[in-house]
A and B are shown apart, each in its own frame.
Chain A
Amino acid sequence: SYELTQPPSVSVSPGQTASITCSGDKLGDKFACWYQQRPGQSPVLVIYQDSKRPSGIPERFSGSNSGNTATLTISGTQAIDESDYYCQAWDSSTVIFGGGTKLTVL
């Protein structure tokens, strides 16, 4: 079965750029999307179809996908961005989630 691998944790200083990766076999041939989940809240879609932002998502969130790796980039990271982030792809007619990455802003 298809698997997506994320680093368990990423740290970033306020105002700096955070990059969270998601790896899977030939992931670049599929679409990746990303969800943000703040503590105690439901997930929120922040990137879909590799690089598109839903309405209401700040421009500092961007995405890319090539080869075996999709990347979520947060520019000018703010304290409110401290959350868990999950990548997701579609494979063999099923939904696949990565294991999640805890972003710490310190």
Chain B
Amino acid sequence: QVQLVESGGGLVKPGGSLRLSCAASGFTFSDYYMNWIRQAPGKGLEWVSYISRSGTTIYYVDSVKGRFTISRDDAKNSLYLQMNSLRAEDTAVYYCARGEYGITATATWYYYMDVWGKGTTVTVSS
């Protein structure tokens, strides 16, 4: 079945680094945009980054630009998030999600995330 499994979370000190991974199965990974979304304790969802099918288009939320790097390895059906210079405010559950992106006949762009993993917890604390 279609599945996303995140790993790599943990406890890290401020200024430290972590690399999150997301293993995909049950679908053709290379056909899809992929995303990282996070949720701080007791807070709402915050989109963090996405990477296009080819890996040529990448976007980040402003708060992580210059610190986080998204990448993918289609041969391994895997998505990654390298997180450097971590701050307390990066503490969250990090979800990997599959993105559907396209344009309709009426020339309206759409983007939604139809498959989500269970998440991995990142805690930044001294």
Contacts and interface: CB of A to CB of B under 8 A. Distances in A.
Do A and B make up one complex?
yes
Interface in A37-80: 37, 42-45, 48-49, 54
A31 B118 contact: no
Interface stretch (B8-16, B19-27, B80-88, B103-111): B103-111
B108 to A, nearest CB: 6
B112 A88 contact: yes
A101 B50 CA distance: 24
B114 A95 contact: no
A33 B110 CA distance: 9
B108 A42 contact: no
Contacts of B46: 97
Given A30-B108, A31-B108, A48-B110, A94 B116 contact: no
How would you classify the secondary structure of chain B's contact residues: helix, strand, loop or mixed?
Answer: strand
Contacts, number: 63
Contact of A54 (B37, B108, B114): B114
Q: Which of A43, A86, A100 has the most chain B CB atoms closer than 10 A to its own CB?
A: A43
A45 B44 contact: no
B89 interface: no
A96 interface: yes
A30 B110 CA distance: 8
B111 A95 contact: yes
A95 B109 CA distance: 12
Contacts of B97: 43
A35 B59 CA distance: 21
Given A33-B110, A94-B47, A95-B37, 16 more contacts: A29-B108, A30-B109, A31-B110, A31-B112, A42-B116, A42-B117, A43-B113, A45-B114, A49-B104, A49-B112, A54-B114, A86-B44, A88-B113, A90-B111, A93-B59, A96-B47
Interface of B: 35, 37, 44-47, 50, 59, 61, 95, 97, 100, 104, 108-114, 116-119
